[in-house]
């Protein structure tokens, strides 16, 4: 049944262990590279979120066989770089921006016609940042407002490599261009102002693809083969973020999050929370399929407000909603800046968070590129809404753990896009 609303009460204690679903970003890439590989790939720990199922369904519509082997494992029969078939139906991305942007790179290399669309929210999100460079490579892409918005109609093939300096660090744009680079004549180069998450580069290297990484520059030559193998996916740190903050805020809490991916391009939340005074320790460090993994131990902590901005923002952009919740309970003032990207996510997350945290009694000032939060020792329960955004919904649920009385978060069916088991996992550690 869809999770239409969450009802949550203040909790004095959270204790126990949590195993998170597979990392959503890595799961997208595992599906894509497996489908384009030259043989059979076993993927274990795959995220069960709706977004990843959208990516898998697109490949099935193009002739790729994907068989489930249990709740989080599957076997993907790759068709090689040139084995996909023209889809007979519109490729539907649902609410998944990662699916649409990365698949735009794949489809730009195919010698056939395809159309991608999404739900109302996704079709209102900007696509020009990926459409424009793919057009420079030779892809024919049409869409609303000259390709600024989906649906996107793509006629691919005959690509030529380009040297790109993208103005805003974006793992989605970088990955789309590298995927198109497989099909381009010459060497495709992507330079970013700061390093964005590097799951694409790590997985390509793990699968034997000669991708070259030099600081914030990544390059790939056309025609490289993706070798089949076994891809194991670590726990999703973006999902872990909600439990980390919950464990910090609830009194007398001690929780352990098992097998979480701690890729340095994604651990900005840990750095920031530790700077705020959080008791967070990473233990049992190891590597899985090219990705660093650890168990994360969290204990109740007294947090203090800090300034958050600059180069760290790309390392925690998805975690800023729950960081804002932590700031609402911290001592002093927290300033979040340089985060205007939040305005073009599944919702306008700056406006949504400011509006909903105010309902709970938080002192929040909205700014164009972020917010200023005056921390309080406790908030008060209220009726809130997710604005159709899974990360806003889960962040407000965490806020409810520290608010007096009852907190209701409405419109929570969106949580299934990334973390269907969220409430089940949260209840498992409630004391």
Question: What does the pLDDT look like over 90-105, one tens digit per residue?
Answer: 999 999 999 999 999 9
Per-residue pLDDT of 59-112, as tens digits, reads: 999 999 999 998 899 999 999 999 999 999 999 999 999 999 999 999 999 999
The pLDDT, as a whole number, for residue 103 is 98
Residue 102: left if φ>0, alpha if ψ -120 to 50, beta else—which one? alpha
pTM > 0.85: yes or no = yes
Determine the straight-line distance between the first and last CA of the chain, rounded to whole angstroms: 25
Closest CA to 173 of 134, 139, 201: 134
List of residues 6+ apart from 20 with CB closer than 8 A = 235, 236, 239, 240, 243, 257, 258, 259, 260, 425
Pairing of strands 113-117, 149-155: antiparallel
Mean pLDDT of the chain: 96
The pLDDT, as a whole number, for residue 1 is 37
CA angle 181, 187, 193 (to 5 degrees): 80
Give bridge partners of residue 76 from the DSSP assignment: 41, 66
Residue 43 near residue 73 (C-beta atoms within 8 A): yes
- What pLDDT band is residue 4 in, cutting at 50, 70 and 90? confident
Based on DSSP, count helices (H) and strands (E) in the chain, helices before strands.
13, 27
Active site residues: 318
Per-residue pLDDT of 190-237, as tens digits, reads: 999 999 999 999 999 999 999 999 999 999 999 999 999 999 999 999
Mean pLDDT of 260-278: 97
d(Cα 120, Cα 397) in Å, to the nearest integer? 25
The pLDDT, as a whole number, for residue 71 is 86
Q: Is 3 exposed, middle or buried (0-12, 13-18, 19+ CB in 10 A)?
A: middle
Mean pLDDT of 310-325: 95
Reply yes or no on whether the pLDDT at 313 is more than 50.
Answer: yes
Mean pLDDT of 34-51: 96
Residue 367 near residue 337 (C-beta atoms within 8 A): yes
Per-residue pLDDT of 169-185, as tens digits, reads: 899 999 999 999 999 99
% of the chain residues with pLDDT over 90: 95
d(Cα 360, Cα 409) in Å, to the nearest integer? 11
Percentages (nearest 5) of helix, strand, coil residues in the chain: 35, 30, 35
- What pLDDT band is residue 2 in, cutting at 50, 70 and 90? very low
Is the preceding omega at residue 289 within 30 degrees of 0, hence cis? no
Residue 150 near residue 100 (C-beta atoms within 8 A): yes
Mean pLDDT of 136-146: 98
The pLDDT, as a whole number, for residue 48 is 87
Residue 175 near residue 102 (C-beta atoms within 8 A): yes
List of residues 6+ apart from 427 with CB closer than 8 A = none
The pLDDT, as a whole number, for residue 204 is 96
- What pLDDT band is residue 12 in, cutting at 50, 70 and 90? confident
- What pLDDT band is residue 3 in, cutting at 50, 70 and 90? low
Mean pLDDT of 228-247: 97
What domains are defined for the chain?
5-22+234-427 (3.65.10.10), 24-232 (3.65.10.10)
């Amino acid at each position: 049944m869809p999770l239409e609303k969450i009802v949550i009460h203040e909790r004095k204690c959270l204790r126990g262990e949590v195993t998170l679903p597979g990392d959503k970003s890595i799961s997208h890439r595992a599906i894509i590279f497996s489908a384009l590989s030259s043989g059979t790939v076993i993927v274990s720990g795959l995220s069960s979120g709706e977004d990843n199922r959208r990516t898998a369904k697109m490949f099935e519509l193009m002739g790729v066989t994907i068989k489930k082997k249990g709740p989080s494992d599957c076997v993907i029969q790759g068709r090689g770089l040139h084995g996909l078939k023209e889809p007979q139906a519109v490729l539907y991305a649902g609410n998944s921006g990662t699916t649409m942007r990365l698949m735009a790179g794949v489809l730009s290399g195919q010698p056939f016609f395809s159309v991608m669309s999404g739900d109302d929210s996704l079709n209102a999100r900007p696509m020009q940042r990926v459409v424009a460079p793919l057009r420079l490579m030779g892809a024919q892409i049409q869409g609303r407002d000259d390709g600024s918005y989906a649906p996107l109609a793509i006629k691919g093939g005959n690509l030529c490599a380009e040297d790109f300096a993208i103005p805003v660090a974006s793992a989605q744009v970088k990955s789309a261009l590298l995927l198109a680079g497989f099909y381009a004549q010459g060497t495709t180069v992507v330079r970013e102002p700061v390093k964005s998450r590097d799951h694409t580069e790590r997985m390509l290297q793990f699968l034997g693809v000669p991708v070259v990484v030099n600081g914030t520059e990544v390059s790939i030559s056309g025609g490289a083969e993706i070798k089949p193998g076994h891809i194991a996916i670590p726990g999703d740190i973006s999902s872990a973020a909600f439990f980390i903050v919950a464990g910090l805020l609830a009194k007398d809490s001690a929780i352990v999050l098992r097998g979480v991916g701690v890729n340095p391009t994604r651990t900005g939340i840990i750095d920031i929370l530790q700077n705020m005074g959080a008791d967070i320790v990473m233990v049992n460090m190891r590597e899985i399929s090219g990705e660093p993994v650890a168990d994360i131990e969290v204990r109740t902590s007294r947090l203090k407000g800090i300034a958050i901005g600059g180069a760290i923002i790309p390392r925690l952009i998805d975690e800023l909603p729950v960081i804002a919740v932590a700031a609402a309970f911290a001592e002093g003032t927290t300033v979040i800046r340089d985060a205007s990207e939040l305005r073009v996510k599944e919702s306008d997350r700056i406006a949504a968070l400011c509006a909903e945290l105010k309902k709970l009694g938080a002192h929040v000032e909205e700014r164009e590129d972020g917010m200023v939060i005056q921390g309080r020792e406790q908030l008060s329960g209220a009726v809130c809404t997710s604005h159709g955004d899974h990360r806003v919904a889960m962040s407000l649920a965490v806020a409810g753990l520290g608010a007096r009385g009852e907190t209701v978060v409405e419109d929570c069916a969106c949580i299934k896009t990334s973390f269907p088991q969220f409430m089940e996992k949260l209840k498992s550690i409630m004391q």
